[in-house]
Structure 1
Amino acid sequence: MPDGFDREHLRGLVTVTQTPRLEIRNLVRAFEGRRVVDDVSLTIMPGQVTCLLGPSGCGKSTTLRMIAGVEMQDSGEIWADGQLVCDTVFRVPPERRGIGLMFQDFALFPHLTVAKNVAFGLSGSQEDKRARVGELLERVDMARHAESYPHQLSGGEQQRVALARALAPQPRIMLMDEPFSGLDNRLRDGIRDQTLTLLKEEDTAVLLVTHEPEEAMRMGDEIALMRNGKIVQQGAPYNVYTRPVDRATVSFFSDANVVRATVNGALANTAFGRFLAPGVADGTDVDIVFRPQHVRIDFDRQGSGPLPTPSDGVAARGVVVRARFLGHESLVEFRMEHDGSLVKATVPNVFLPAAGKVMWLTIPRSRCFVFPASRG
């Protein structure tokens, strides 16, 4: 080594690769010949929240049950902190996996007080148990209800007790299956935020199953979008939302407008102007997909609309069908004159043009997605 080379500096340059807290590799589970979980792989680091998002019946809960150990996979592996937990030969029992569980129904013991519910399953001395229970009940603002029974609590209070009980053994991994869906909207956001804060403080790896895109965007460091047993896209919420892999992904997160066109010379011609379709063969039908909040509306000026621009293309004329105020925005639906199709647009605050009013719509090219045309 050259003279004067700083060994400590060399150590500082070495990147330490952190071991995943939870890793599942190529999980498969089939029922009656149909794969409900089909080659699913995920990696979750300590302190990371990954949301497994998808419609009902896509395989989310089955994946969770296999990780918990209450369902056996047909193939694939489950690892925790670099150690094999389960494959098709070796299997650590569920109670020894260091995994916490939270479900929609809370599953509190009705005959036990709040404090005894939280203490259930804790090991150690009575003094240590009391200290851990007291600490957690303070953190979820339930200390004053320590001697109450579950039936004496509201749904939100029961959820906080269930969270404290799940965290009590300090699990390295937390599996959550739609735990907030039983709460009313007024309580849900606050309890979700409190839950997320506590889990981050405990450095727990979290896999949260949900069918609500808003919940996944709010809670997840990463989203794994699942459809028909497969993970079709995975990444940070911003990337999944702004760089969807297909039309179905756009539609899952929000309403979507669709304009169909045929490609010629890497361009798709529409009433809204041309759209780039690089790499798509001539004669291919494509769907041009855009969200209502990205539609731009302009007034009719004696039969004319705004001039074409490279960024917004050509304005197309539409007639207002209906307009509704939704509280934080207005939804306006247009019947397009060129083909009779329906286009939805949302506008911040109050904008309620009368039915029958003629207006011009443009679509910013930076907000559009071009996909191969979907069947049907």
Structure 2
Amino acid sequence: MTPPHPRLEIRNIVRRFDGRSVVDDVSLKIMPGQVTCLLGPSGCGKSTTLRIIAGVEMQDSGEIYVDGNLICDTVYRVPPERREIGLMFQDFALFPHLSVAGNVGFGLSGTKEEKRARVAELLDKVDLLRFIDGFPHQLSGGEQQRVALARALAPRPRVMLMDEPFSGLDNRLRDGIRDETLSLLKNEDTAVLLVTHEPEEAMRMADEIALMRDGKVVQQGAPYNVYTRPVDRQSVSFFSDANVLRATVNGALAQTVFGRFLAPGVPDGTEVDIVFRPQHLSIDFDRAGKGPLPTPTQGVAARATVERARFLGHESLVEFRLEHDDTLLRATVPNVFLPAEGTVLWLTIRRDKCFVFPVR
């Protein structure tokens, strides 16, 4: 049995401005009903990639396919309005002079009755049918967002491109509207490519994350895999705060104040960064000044002095200064833990949660 084509596939897309590659050999495959998040810092090429797929900007090389059919390369180009690709952006861009029905039905073909029926069907799905003859200025921000979604879905696009579509909503509304939007898109079997610079949003929404940096996709996979198997120090830091210890490899081992860490395949004399997240730095309350005795999973304990502690609502963040070499480390502790500045405590690291990367 022949496997189904990806709903959207882009192959080796490159876009240059003034000799600089803003999008550099980007390839993606998105299946029907799948949500892929293009995640990365501002200016890394995410929005340019979306504009190329939508057809409002041309690539310098590469190809774009929808359901296995070529829609654009550097010679052949299907016009944007015929690509069956929907767009949603930060600015809802509703027409203020048109009613809600007029906005949702804008660009639909068919008889007046057919268009009205499609508009009513979609507004019912987003729970806004009662506003069908209202106007955008009468709606809240969240309601305007749902009208924009209904408008984007009206022509039954096979692909939906979303550029930070929820950033204009307050936190109280955002989670609910995000979940409703994705549920509706999945029910329509739409392939979704969502651009965001917020890791938490990507982790919450995506079936797959493509992590982008300097125009390149540096890592791609399920959210769990991208988070727990980062490819480099920057990837760790993009998803959360990161602690870093610098060490030199000798005999495939890197010696630190917390003990030795394996560095297989790394040549002797190479400097490495040992990177770990604040939740994996533990406070050894039982040590009571007994010294750095090693344990199988935690390695060696190290003395550190509290520099600052603050309560964040569901956890506490404590900053320490290592006595060994003055390195600053951060630990997150569940609930309320606010030791006084200058308190000396012993720290250990979850060795199985550390990443070792050669310094570049």
Asked if these proteins are the same fold (TM beyond 0.5), I'd say yes
Kindly indicate whether residue 290 of structure 2 is the aligned counterpart of residue 304 of structure 1. yes
| Residue of structure 1 equivalent to 2:57 | 71
TM-score, normalised via structure 2 length: 0.98
Q: CA deviation at 1:146?
A: 1.4
Aligned AA for 2:258? F
Deviation at residue 305 of structure 1 after TM alignment: 4.8
Assess if the C-alpha contact under 8 Å between 2:63 and 2:73 holds in 1: yes
Instruction: Tell me whether 1:210 sits opposite 2:196 in the alignment.
Output: yes
Give the deviation of 1:254 after TM superposition.
0.3
Deviation digits for residues 281-316 of structure 1, max 9, x if unmatched?
A: 000000000000111111375522573112111001
Contact 2:71 2:83 in 1 (8 A): yes
Q: Is the 8 A contact 1:85 1:92 kept in 2?
A: yes
**1:190-209 alignment runs, 5 A limit:** 190-209=176-195
Q: 2: distance between equivalents of 1:123 and 1:307?
A: 75
**Aligned mates of 1:82, 1:302 — CA distance in 2:** 65
> What is the distance in 2 between the residues matched to 1:76 and 1:231?
15
Distance 1:353 1:257 in 2: 20
Aligned-partner residue type, residue 330 of structure 2 = K
Conserved? CA contact 1:262–1:269, under 8 Å: yes
The residue aligned with 1:90 is 76
8 A Cα contact 1:24 1:78, kept in partner: yes
- RMSD (Å) for aligned C-alpha atoms: 1.1
Write the distance in 2 (CA, Å) between the matches of 1:169 and 1:202.
12
1:222-274 C-alpha deviation (Å, 9 max, x unpaired): 00000000000000000000000000000000000000000000000000000
Compared CA separation, residues 176 and 194, structure 1 to 2 (3 A): same
Q: How many Å apart are 1:198 and its aligned residue?
A: 0.4
Rounded to whole Å, the distance in 2 between the matches of 1:128 and 1:149 is 21
Match status 1:132 vs 2:118:
yes
The aligned residue for residue 107 of structure 2 is: 121
CA separation in 2, counterparts of 1:318 and 1:299? 13
Tell me which moved more, 295-304 or 30-39: 295-304
Which secondary structure state, in structure 2, belongs to the residue aligned with residue 299 of structure 1? coil
Q: How many Å separate the matches in 2 of 1:366 and 1:297?
A: 16
Partner SS, residue 232 of structure 1: strand
Work out the number of aligned pairs and report it: 360
| Residue of structure 1 equivalent to 2:90 | 104
Amino acid at match of 2:186: K
CA distance in 2 between counterparts of 1:49 and 1:211 reads 16
Cα distance in structure 2, aligned partners of 1:368 and 1:247: 11
Describe the SS at the equivalent of 2:74: coil
Q: Distance in 1 between matches of 2:57 and 2:69?
A: 19
1:148 is aligned to 2:153: no
Q: Map of 1:211-250 to 2, 5 A cutoff?
A: 211-250=197-236
Q: 1:46 aligns with which of 20, 24, 32?
A: 32
- In the alignment, the residues of structure 2 paired with residue 25 and residue 154 of structure 1 have an alpha-carbon distance, to the nearest angstrom, of 40
Shift of 1:364: 1.1
Paired residue type of 1:149: F
CA distance in 2, matches of 1:105, 1:305: 58
Alpha-carbon distance in 1 for matches of 2:288, 2:239: 38
- 2:328 counterpart residue number: 342
Which digits, 9 at most, give the CA deviation of each residue in 1:317-352, with x for residues without a partner? 111111111011110000110011110000111111
The answer as to whether partners of 2:287 and 2:346 remain within 8 angstroms in 1 is no
Q: What residue identity is the alignment partner of 2:250?
A: N
Deviating above 6 A after TM superposition, structure 1's stretches of 4 or more consecutive aligned residues are: none
Say which of 23, 43, 47 aligns to 2:9. Answer: 23
Kept in 1, the 8 Å contact 2:292–2:302? The answer is no
- Partners of 1:329 and 1:335 lie apart in 2 by 20
The equivalent residue for 1:57 is: 43
How many Å separate the matches in 2 of 1:268 and 1:178? 41
Shift of 1:141: 1.3
One-letter amino acid of the counterpart of residue 182, structure 2? L
Q: Which runs of 5+ in 1 are unaligned?
A: 1-13
Q: Return 5+ residue gaps in structure 2 as ranges.
A: none
SS of alignment partner, residue 284 of structure 2: strand
Mapped to 1, the partners of 2:40 and 2:347 lie a distance apart of 32
Residue equivalent to 1:8: none
